[in-house]
Amino acid sequence: MLSLRFPRVVPYAAVSLVALLALAACSSDPDGIAFQGVQRGNSLWVQVHSIQIMDAVYYEQDDVSYVIRPSDPANKLAVVDASVGNNRSTTVLMDVRDGGFTLLTASGDTYQPINPFEVSELEPNPPLGEPLGIFIWGNFEIPRDYAIRAWALFEVPEDIEPTQFRWDTVETVFVRNQIKR
């Protein structure tokens, strides 16, 4: 099991305040979707920092570069930058896999996550300056007052307008978009 040690997170109230301040300062991003939100469950809190729409996502593992592209050329990848934190239980053990989280739209469309390690291809020459992904996928251990921050991937139509990110591992937490349109 992968044990991640991240800097101690601030209490939920401070996280909420920071998220609301970020919302107030947020402007529309041409490469992304105006989506941010934070929600607390019984044991976990989940925060969506942003959603970017991309043609490809790159990551590196054991000094080897990989690329992930949509299976349908008409689609894009929605990259959800999210944090999942534990501020109540001694330790939360998670196995994040298929069905671990979902992206939802106001029209009722539901998008399931992509397993980044099953759909990736070798990429010997990734473009310079592209961010490298760290993914929410696999086994995690989150001690109290710690969090993980990583990407969740979805294959979506280019014009998607998500309204909720639903976390379904350990417990169900709905993160609604707090940016008003």
CATH code at 138?
2.60.40
> From CA 33, how far away is CA 39, in angstroms rounded?
19
State the Cα angle at 136 between 82 and 36, rounded to 5°. Answer: 10
| In a domain? residue 112 | yes
CA distances from residue 23 to 43, 67, 76 in whole angstroms, order as listed: 24, 31, 25
Q: Write down the H helix ranges in 10-60.
A: 12-25
Question: pLDDT by residue (tens digit) across 39-85?
Answer: 999 999 999 999 999 999 999 999 899 999 999 999 999 999 999 99
Residue 107: domain span: 12-176
Question: pLDDT by residue (tens digit) across 103-137?
Answer: 999 999 999 999 999 999 999 888 988 888 999 99
Q: Which of 162, 43, 59 has the alpha carbon at shortest distance from 113?
A: 162
Which residue type occupies 72?
D
The pTM of this model reads 0.81
